[in-house]
A and B are shown apart, each in its own frame.
Chain A
Amino acid sequence: MKMNYEESVKRLEEIVSRLEEGNLSLEDSLKLYEEGALLSDKCRKMLSEAKLKITNINEVTENG
């Protein structure tokens, strides 16, 4: 599943709060951390590589 920036950040926030609760096993914690680290890299990449796209409304089809 491809998450957009907002969804990725939301998931990251969730991961952090679950890690901060500290009641997960070490194994699950590490698994979550790995997911978080990947997501965080992905978000950074999204920010650094983003380039504004401009579309004329006449080119937008009815389905959006």
Chain B
Amino acid sequence: MNLRSIISVSQLNMYVRSLLEGDENLNNVFVRGEISNFSPNARSGHLYMTLKDGNSSVKAVMFAGNASKIKFRIENGMSVIARGRVSLYERDGAYQFYIDDIQPEGIGSLAVAFEQLKERLSKEGLFDSVKKKPIPPFPKRIGVISSPNGAAVQDVVNIISRRFPLAEIIFAGVPVQGDGTGEIIAHAVSDFNYLKCADVIIIARGGGSAEDLWEFNSETLARAIYNSEIPIISGVGHETDFTICDFVSDLRAPTPSAAAELAVPDINELTAYLNLINSKMNKAINSKILFEEMRLDKLSDSGYLRKPADFIDDCEKKISDLNKSLNIAVKAIYENQYNRAFVLLSKLDALNPLRILSRGYSVVKLNESVVSSVSQLKVNDRIELCFTDGKVSATVTKITDKVK
């Protein structure tokens, strides 16, 4: 292009653009700056912003394709390192920074690291709800991992002492801030498991900045918690703070105090429950006694136990009834025998020789023997004639043989 002749604005901008795009150094450049005028286009998905430092600023754009890949939310005031290329927006004649990738600087990169670790461990299954161990309802020994000088351990002790003084606290004092702290806490978790000296473990730390809590995102700690056979409650920071420790623990409490409350039952509830059991037991035994009393009443109400004289009366009546029956039976037998005797007597009477005599016959006796044939007699025998009403002595004067 001949710059000595007159050119159009478009030609100028096109020329400058080609110069910028032709510069190798500007093709892939990292720029550190602070975000301002951030304005995402909801429809297109493109992100528009200005990158600035103390003295200068440059307009920047991130197209939707690249913008969809970033993991954090861009906000005004955020310090970032942006990678991209430099070119010119011909319409406005303004040069722009076209961002391919953007990383937050400082704590921002920690946040990215956090997200990355979280995603990796999550994929590995360390946060799976099926792996979460239940918190025992009546822990005898509660492991507490915390700073010996912090308010967190005081809160935990106070709450457990008030709610469930039956328990024993096994305390492991650790630093809760600073490089390497995560490993030390992980070691304490392993100690509890090695010694088997707790039914549940509370990891407690008071609130702080994201940097303060950073060691609770330690991967070593996460794996120690995951491998712990003792259930672990995480009470780190405040309600809004989330750490890897929270995700991998069996139970996440918003604060150390809340962790203590989740770890133990409440003595007031236990007392109330004990009262309930007691009243149930009293009710059960009372109804048993009542039942037995009613049973006894029913038994003693029925008949002889209530009126023993009735029993004797009943026996007497039975005896008198039997007596009556016996009398009837005996009388019947007697009458039966009497009738039989009467019949026999009548028959006997009919055969009585005296009855025959009464009809005009008489019996002849000789020397007290009955004479039934003339051959037994001879003339002058002294015989007796027997009648029903007396005897006659006679002498045989003549014998006539009936046959002759």
Residues of A within 8 A of B (CB): 4-6, 9, 12-13, 15-16, 19-20, 22, 24, 26, 29-30, 33, 36-37, 40, 43-44, 46-47, 50-57, 60-62, 64
- Report if A60-B170 is in contact (Cβ < 8 Å); known contacts: A16-B277, A33-B281: yes
Q: What separation, in Å, do the CA atoms of A6 and B140 have in the docked complex?
A: 9
Classify chain B: how many residues form its interface, as a range.
Answer: 35 or more
- Report if A20-B284 is in contact (Cβ < 8 Å); known contacts: A9-B277, A52-B161: yes
- Report if A64-B288 is in contact (Cβ < 8 Å); known contacts: A47-B166, A55-B169: no
Is A60 a contact partner of B195 (Cβ separation < 8 A)? yes
Stretch at the interface among B104-112, B266-274, B301-309, B323-331: B266-274
Q: Which 3 A-B pairs have the closest CB atoms?
A: A19-B284, A50-B165, A6-B138
Residues of A within 8 A of B281 (CB): 12, 15-16, 19, 33, 36-37, 40
Is A26 a contact partner of B288 (Cβ separation < 8 A)? yes
Q: What separation, in Å, do the CA atoms of A53 and B157 have in the docked complex?
A: 10
Is A47 a contact partner of B288 (Cβ separation < 8 A)? no
Who on chain B is nearest to A49 by CB? B165
Q: Is B197 an interface residue (CB 8 A)?
A: yes
Q: What separation, in Å, do the CA atoms of A29 and B281 have in the docked complex?
A: 10
Is A54 a contact partner of B280 (Cβ separation < 8 A)? no
Residues of A within 8 A of B386 (CB): none
Q: How far is the CB of A32 from chain B (nearest CB, A)?
A: 8
Q: How far is the CB of A10 from chain B (nearest CB, A)?
A: 10
Q: What separation, in Å, do the CA atoms of A51 and B172 have in the docked complex?
A: 20
Who on chain A is nearest to B161 by CB? A52
Residues of A within 8 A of B288 (CB): 19, 22, 24, 26, 29
Q: How far is the CB of A54 from chain B (nearest CB, A)?
A: 5
Q: Is B235 an interface residue (CB 8 A)?
A: no
- Report if A5-B138 is in contact (Cβ < 8 Å); known contacts: A12-B281, A37-B281, A56-B173: yes
Is B188 a contact partner of A54 (Cβ separation < 8 A)? no
User: Chain B 318-345 against A: per-residue CB contact (8 Å), 1 yes, 0 no?
Assistant: 0000000000000000000000000000
The 23 listed contacts between A and B (C-beta, < 8 Å) are A4-B140, A5-B270, A12-B281, A13-B277, A16-B277, A16-B284, A19-B281, A22-B291, A30-B285, A33-B281, A37-B281, A44-B271, A50-B165, A50-B166, A52-B157, A52-B165, A53-B167, A53-B168, A55-B169, A57-B143, A57-B191, A57-B197, A62-B195
Is B169 a contact partner of A54 (Cβ separation < 8 A)? yes
Is A57 a contact partner of B195 (Cβ separation < 8 A)? yes
Residues of A within 8 A of B284 (CB): 16, 19-20, 22, 29, 33
